[in-house]
Amino acid sequence: MGFILKYKVSFKAKHGLLSYKGKPEELHEHRYTLIVAIEAGERGPEGYTVDFMEIKNFVDKLIPDDGENLNDKFPFPTTTENIAEYFYESIREVFNVKEIELWQDDNLCVIYRK
């Protein structure tokens, strides 16, 4: 059996849906928390599967700047579901992603997996 490694990072970003129940939504901010779960195989000779810092450094490059407007960053509607899928697809280019958990605040979350 293998291991699952997780990396958790929080960021603040703004967005407004272009169509929310038929009307444009006002720009507002969320404090998102992203939790990335990576499936890893067997440990190498040094005793670990994947270097945590490799995961952290890669994921941190994908994280929006503090307070960034996600409508300007992404070419898709900035729903939590779409953002979670973006992180999944981007990270899986390098790591074996099991799932992405994206919290929009302390109480609302989307989990994306394939």
What are the structural domains of the chain?
30-112 (3.30.479.10)
Of 62, 38, 65, 59, the C-alpha closest to 49 is: 38
DSSP letter assigned to residue 26: P
Answer positive or negative: Cα dihedral of 49, 82, 16, 104. Answer: negative
Backbone torsions φ then ψ of 75, nearest 5 degrees:
-90, 20
User: Could you read off the pLDDT of 37-95 as tens digits, one per residue?
Assistant: 999 988 989 998 999 999 999 999 999 999 999 999 999 999 999 999 999 999 999 99
Does the pTM of the predicted model rise above 0.85? yes
pLDDT digits (tens, 9 = 90+) for 89-107: 999 999 999 999 999 999 9
Alpha-carbon distance 62 to 40, whole Å? 21
Return the DSSP state at 73: H
pLDDT reading at 1 higher than 80: no
